[in-house]
Amino acid sequence: DVSKVFNTVYSTPHPDKNKSPGAEDMFIKITKSYEILSNEERRANYDRFGQMDENQNFARAPQGFRHYQDSFYFDESFFHFPRTSRDFTDSKHHLHYNQYISEVLPDSFKRPYLIKITSEWCFTCVHIEPVWKDTVLELEPLGVGIGVVDIGYERQLANHLGAHRTPSILGLINGKVTFFHYAVVREHLRQFVESLLPQKLVEKVTDNSYLGFLNSWHEENKPRVLMFDVASNIPFLYKLTAFAYKDYVQFGYVDMGLTETSKVVQRFSINTYAPTMLLFKESTDKPADVMQARGMKKQIIDEFVSNNRFLLVPRLVNQKLFDELCPVKQFHRRRKYCVLLVTGEGEQFVSVNEAFFDFASSNTKEVLRFAYVYQRQQQPLCDTLLKKEDTTPPQVILLERRSATGRVLYRTVTGGWNGSDDDKHRLHEQLEILQRDPSHLTHDAMLPELNNEFASMFLIHWINTAYDYLAQFYFDLLYSNWREMMPVLSLIFSALFILFGTVIIQAFSDAGEDKPAKQKATDPPKTAESSPGQESTSSRPPKKNFVEVTELTDITYMSNLVRLKPGHINVVLILTDASKQVLLRKFAKEVYSFSGSQTLHYSFLNVDKHSQWMDSLMESAPDARPSDCLDEEEDFTSNKSDYTGHVLALNGHKKYFCIFRPVFTGEEAECSRWSDEDAATAGPSKATRSRSSSRQKATTLEIHHKLDRLSLWMERLMEGTLPRHYVPAWPGLDTITPQK
């Protein structure tokens, strides 16, 4: 029993005074028992392992201190460790993991937190304790959150915060953790917390800018607070207040000690001997509320701003504002009716809106909340409220929220709203009836969630997030927080190693590739320049700024087609002498992004020299013949086909080809925009309809438009999704070439 041991310790005399046999041994045993029972950790070890002796090893006992703990017995008060008082001071600020996640982290979006990481037997923590205590006494009344984490008991929370050593001090704001790296001085800690706040929370206002500051309430949909003081720097209390209410109120600061602010001070008759706060709503000539006191306290400022955080008639710009302005009904005595004006943003709605503001200013009952909404900005909400009676803005709607999911009871005021005296009288009568009889709201609806009109663009949000990460990376690197930086550095070096290895492998693979065959002197290859700026869609980028196109003649026919390597394809352009220059230039531009492939070769065939080769190829593959572009009774062989602008992908080894037919624009769109890529994705009925136009219209085409869709066809070729037309053998080019 613990109480019996304690009583025995205090009732047993010291061996120097008790000369009885065995008194010294008994005193040692009692002292050991007292030490075990007074220490929770040693008491737990005793319950788990039994009798403690000098040779016993515990997992939690440090190896280097075990013999000293068992051999020396001393009173901690002899060393004057202020451990008890320190623990008592920090006890109300101790943080636990669940408390941090559920309370502190969400609250950091309203106020900054200063958190100390400490542990038992941390002698450095004892040295900074007086500075920490003074800092807490100064900052906590201003609204700064304070937290203490014992790394021995809250290892999970310490790891979550990234703190691995004691003592450590860190700041928390908007869910982001920032470490303190300077000397632990009260002024440094204060400056550190102040640096956590956003830079433009409070705008400095002068004689030239105060009118613009007050008149911007309409764009930002927020009241304005002007703080007058004689300090050159904005007081820290004002900044904390501005951060706490940044979503509701815009703050400005006037330094009354400057000559540039004398006009605004005289304009509002400010007493220069005491700090003053003016709160403006829709009217910029007269403040809606005033507060003046020599000693501004946080509680007084919070109450002043909280009671005026909404405009007299605010615009519903997001769901959060709608939830706070028109809360869900809870009790009969706490009913809140929302008087909503559905209006527009044009000039014709200005007088209508101002009349609604005047009516709201004369009806300031707590049970009524006035607001307006732009139909263009909140189209789903307005459609839901106006669809039953099929009315158009401007309209006044009385509603009461019944559930957080969006269910409301509402009623549209008959006659619309034009701002006339009759409209005001009619609305006043409807409100009187509603306050006497809640069943006056006859319609029921489920409202959609409101659009956030002030949501930042994705790009801006991404840039801000990237900036925060880069800034954190810089500070961690600057102050050598290597344990936290190791995962990031490891990731960076791994990415660089993979990138460098890929470049080396690519360089060696390019060096080992087969060199292209030598060009024959009798027929030099034709080249067509192309812009290297085209976007590459192939797996290997082009190595040259031009495309090498070889003419298909009697000499090159065997090597470029019949004896082509397995897996290689020759892309052949069909042209004439008249269209040669135009088509070659267009062809090079279309296929340039695919010229990096080692399995594709490019050639052209002049049908003026080899007029019968295409006909022989089509006769060998009847399924490739575009016979359904002609009338069923028309003989295909009786008409001479024009193959100018056709492109063939010839696989010489497997004896098949894919065909691209020119793109026809204008009146010939349906018949002519048909090639193998379209045939692969459409049925035969669609193909027949699309080929119903006359082939004779093809001559009216501009030549440079014939290859407009060739790049898309090349993509399908690389994917392997084009139809393949097989031939029993390639027709011989030499036997068809006419003799001259």
> pLDDT tens-digit profile of 494-552?
888 888 888 777 766 655 544 444 443 334 444 444 433 343 444 455 556 778 888 88
Number of domains in the chain: 5
- Residues 456 and 462: their CA atoms lie apart, in Å, by 10
Structure token pair of residue 393: 């803005």
3-state DSSP assignment of residue 587: helix
Res. 254: pLDDT tops 60: yes
Residue type, 524: P
238-262 in b/e form (b: 16+ CB < 10 A) is bbbbbbbbbebbbbbbbbbeeeebe
Domain match, 180 and 327 both: no
| Residue 606 near residue 575, CB atoms below 8 Å | yes
Res. 615: pLDDT tops 90: no
User: CATH number, domain at 27?
Assistant: 1.10.287.110
Res. 613: pLDDT tops 80: yes
Domain match, 207 and 192 both: no
Please give the DSSP secondary-structure letter assigned to residue 524.
Answer: P
Q: Angle, to 10 degrees, between the axis of helix 23-38 and the axis of helix 2-11?
A: 140
The full length of the chain comes to: 740
Model-wide pTM > 0.75: no
Q: What are phi and psi of 247, to 5 degrees?
A: -85, -10
Domain match, 329 and 408 both: yes
For the segment 117-133, what is each residue's pLDDT rounded down to a tens digit? 998 888 888 889 999 99
Q: Is 615 exposed, middle or buried (0-12, 13-18, 19+ CB in 10 A)?
A: middle
Provide the H-helix boundaries in 180-245: 186-196, 210-215, 217-220, 236-244
Domain membership of residue 473 (yes or no) is no
- Residues 201 and 236: their CA atoms lie apart, in Å, by 11
According to DSSP, the residues that pair with 151 across neighbouring strands are: none
Structure token pair of residue 211: 């009118």
Q: What is the mean pLDDT of the chain?
A: 77
Domain match, 585 and 718 both: yes
Domain boundary among 433, 452, 471: 452
| Residue 136 near residue 215, CB atoms below 8 Å | no
Lowest mean pLDDT among 20-29, 425-434, 506-515: 506-515
For the segment 335-354, what is each residue's pLDDT rounded down to a tens digit? 788 999 999 888 889 899 99
3-state DSSP assignment of residue 485: helix
pLDDT-derived band at 461 (thresholds 50, 70, 90) equals low
3-state DSSP assignment of residue 149: strand
For the segment 208-245, what is each residue's pLDDT rounded down to a tens digit? 999 999 999 988 899 999 999 998 899 999 999 999 99
Domain match, 94 and 186 both: yes
pLDDT-derived band at 77 (thresholds 50, 70, 90) equals very low
- Residues 529 and 538: their CA atoms lie apart, in Å, by 19
Domain match, 274 and 358 both: no
Work out the number of other CB atoms within 10 angstroms of the CB of residue 682: 13
According to DSSP, the residues that pair with 443 across neighbouring strands are: 410
| Residue 697 near residue 666, CB atoms below 8 Å | no
pLDDT-derived band at 332 (thresholds 50, 70, 90) equals low
pLDDT at 3: 46
- Dihedral, 632, 633, 637, 638 alpha carbons, nearest 10: -140
Res. 75: pLDDT tops 70: no
Query: Is the Cα dihedral 284, 286, 289, 290 positive or negative?
Result: positive
Lowest mean pLDDT among 240-244, 269-273, 639-643: 639-643
Work out the number of other CB atoms within 10 angstroms of the CB of residue 513: 8
Domain match, 624 and 730 both: yes
- Residues 125 and 147: their CA atoms lie apart, in Å, by 15
Domain membership of residue 29 (yes or no) is yes
Structure token pair of residue 192: 């550190």
Candidates 171, 180, 162; CA nearest to 484 is 162
Candidates 650, 622, 654; CA nearest to 637 is 622
pLDDT at 196: 92
Domain match, 182 and 244 both: no
pLDDT at 338: 92
pLDDT at 223: 94
| Residue 100 near residue 132, CB atoms below 8 Å | no
- Helix (H) or strand (E) run with residue 570 in it: strand 569-575
Domain match, 109 and 256 both: no
Mean pLDDT (whole number) for 15-33: 69
Structure token pair of residue 106: 């969400």
Domain membership of residue 371 (yes or no) is yes
Domain membership of residue 461 (yes or no) is no
Domain boundary among 168, 196, 224: 196
Domain membership of residue 490 (yes or no) is no
Provide the H-helix boundaries in 550-597: 557, 580-591
Lowest mean pLDDT among 4-18, 53-67, 287-301, 710-724: 53-67
Domain match, 554 and 698 both: yes
Long-range CB contacts (within 8 A, 24+) of 187-190 = 189/114, 189/131, 189/135, 189/139, 190/135, 190/138, 190/139, 190/236
Q: By residue range, what is the domain housing residue 354? A: 319-452
3-state DSSP assignment of residue 412: strand
- Residues 558 and 91: their CA atoms lie apart, in Å, by 92
Res. 484: pLDDT tops 60: no
Output Rg (C-alpha) for the chain, integer angstroms. Answer: 43
Domain membership of residue 239 (yes or no) is yes
pLDDT at 699: 44
| Residue 97 near residue 155, CB atoms below 8 Å | no
Domain membership of residue 598 (yes or no) is yes
Q: Residue written as tokens 């390639």?
A: 730
pLDDT at 339: 93
pLDDT-derived band at 692 (thresholds 50, 70, 90) equals very low
Domain boundary among 178, 196, 214: 196
Domain match, 303 and 350 both: no
Candidates 120, 166, 170; CA nearest to 147 is 170
| C-alpha count within 13 angstroms, C-beta hemisphere, residue 497 | 6
Structure token pair of residue 136: 């807490």
User: CATH number, domain at 606?
Assistant: 3.40.30.10
Domain match, 295 and 357 both: no
Domain membership of residue 75 (yes or no) is no
Res. 115: pLDDT tops 70: yes
